[in-house]
Chains A and B, each alone.
Chain A
Amino acid sequence: MQTQTESGCSATPGKVVTGNVIPLLHEVRHALQQLLDSGQEMVIDLRSIPMGPGEEDRIAEQLGRGEVQARLSALGPSEVVETRYPGVWLVTHHNNDGEIIGKFIEVCVIPRLVTAQHEDIRAGLQALSVQLAE
């Protein structure tokens, strides 16, 4: 966490602290505990929280990078990155132009988007069968 003056405002010019970062991390901690206890998953939409300039990056910094990093190519690229804390994932969706269209923190064993989807498996099976029949 960056240094703060007594009044709670950032001392560094241009850097503003909304005070939303710490509560958010507490929420993540709580969700991790729930995941362990009952297997309940949680997703936080980072776009629904007021953020000052650079605060989103600071959250990513705080969470750090873990062992798994996945890149998806579905309607534009998406990044699924395990954070320093196993079970906490940072999911960023881009469109074909690389613009960010969604940013989420997922607390789960593995984000569902990474696993193969039934509909896609079925379509794949069909495609493979067609290929073998030729």
Chain B
Amino acid sequence: MSKDQTIGEALRARGVSRRGFLKFCAATASMMALPPSMVPVIAAALEKASRPSVIWMSFQECTGCTESLTRSHSPTVEGLIFDTISLDYHHTLQAASGAAAEAAREAAMEENWGKYILVVDGSIPVGDPGYSTIAGISNMDMLLETAAGAAAIVSVGSCAAFGGIPHADPNPTGALSVRDLLQQYGDRKPDTHSAVYTAHSTDVDVKNKPIINVPGCPPIPVVITGVLAHFLTFGTIPELDELGRPMAYYGKSIHDRCYRRPYYDKGLFAETFDDEGAKKGWCLYKLGCKGPTTYNACATTKWNEGTSFPIEAGHPCLGCSEPDFWDGGGFYKAISTSTEDISRTAVYAIGAGAAAGVALGALNRAKKTRAVKAHQKVGIDDLEKDG
């Protein structure tokens, strides 16, 4: 595919009919969580949209996000969106390695400076840069350099968006999310940088680069591609919440859209994974479900082509699209319960209170007895003496 082609042209060149294109647009609208009435608008925009260059960087991650995105081997709609972008660098997927791979990245940066999309999965270690390097370049340097020429940054997965598992307590690598790193180190010049960076980076403010967070462990593939689709359809950043997540997908909590919600409202809960309640599909709140504090599209978009999602499979939500979900006090502990042993605390407190109360009471009694003993009766003589 030529890079100058529009997406409409690219699809037609692949023998996709107008019907196929409209079907693609309908599925894309659904994927972007837009109403079906937007299909003609999307069709018109996609027809003219150019294929953006994408540089994908993987730092401290498990490749689960890439796995989620590419798990499908056949041309799905996600696949097509993925094909319509020009993925110029992705060290897990690309054939090139070493110097050749880095040369490809630099070439893509040079050619599309200020216009390419930077996708990041994984967190960035700042404790010791040696924890994660690519081609001898520290993750921080590579991110600072590549972010400088990006039109927008998409942080895919909870690690890139919020630090994720590497950031979990005690965070041995000093892992930071993309947003935190750019905010804290955005004004720093990378120690190692390419000629492309030197040529362009005189007036770039990396601190204020638009960042779209697409958290999840992994994120729903349709959500990843939906965000890319939005960018390449409208050329803009979708509406974001305060955590930088697209409202279209992360606007409602799992709890609010959960099909088991009626059971929560009625107070019907599964107590264990195999009791009657579990078999009847009752609410999993007692089993530690983090649905009420988790914002994601799982309950409607679902997984595996809309087949199911964890709660439908009988497992409580782990809250993987929220910051620090790993340190949330236990996956199987209900949110309203304590993380400490309160009953023992209570017993000690009552014991100590009773003991102290009795001791104080005894002290008071002794004082009273002494007072009674010390009390001298006043007679008429005493009064006369003073008078």
Contact = CB atoms under 8 A, between A and B. Distances in A.
Q: Do A and B interact with each other, yes or no? A: yes
Interface of A: 7-9, 13-19, 43-45, 47-53, 55, 72, 74-76, 78, 93, 95-97, 99-104, 112-113, 117-120, 123
A49 B36 CA distance: 13
Given A19-B262, A48-B30, A93-B23, A101 B17 contact: no
Interface of B: 16-20, 22-24, 26-27, 29-30, 33, 35-37, 39, 72, 74-77, 80, 257-263, 266, 268, 279-281, 299-302, 305-306, 308, 312
Nearest to B280: A13
Given A52-B259, A95-B75, A117 B23 contact: no
Contacts of B16: 74-75
Contacts of A53: 259, 281, 308, 312
Contacts of A103: 306
A123 B56 CA distance: 37
A55 B266 CA distance: 20
B23 A113 contact: yes
Contacts of B17: 74, 117, 119-120, 123
Contacts of B258: 50
Contact of A93 (B27, B37, B72): B27
Contacts of B30: 45, 47-48, 101-102, 104
Contacts of B260: 16, 52
12 contacts: A9-B266, A13-B280, A18-B259, A43-B35, A45-B35, A50-B258, A52-B312, A53-B312, A75-B80, A99-B305, A120-B18, A120-B19
A1 to B, nearest CB: 16
Given A74-B17, A96-B75, A113 B22 contact: yes
Contacts of A118: 18
A29 to B, nearest CB: 18
B279 A14 contact: yes
A100 B18 CA distance: 20
Contacts of A96: 74-75
A117 B19 contact: yes
Contacts of A76: 75
A9 B280 CA distance: 10
B305 A72 contact: no
Contacts of B279: 13-14
Nearest to B276: A13
B19 A72 contact: yes
B49 to A, nearest CB: 17
Nearest to A12: B280
Given A48-B300, A102-B26, A9 B262 contact: yes
B162 to A, nearest CB: 26
Contacts of B261: 18, 50
Contact of A75 (B24, B257, B308): B24
A50 B300 contact: yes
Contact of B74 (A8, A43, A49, A95): A95
A75 B37 CA distance: 21
Contacts of A75: 16, 20, 23-24, 75, 80
A27 to B, nearest CB: 13
B306 A100 contact: yes
Contact of A101 (B35, B263, B305): B305
B262 A74 contact: no
Nearest to B24: A75
Contacts of B262: 8-9, 16-19
A113 B27 CA distance: 13
A18 to B, nearest CB: 4
A16 B259 contact: yes
Nearest to A7: B266
Nearest to B260: A16
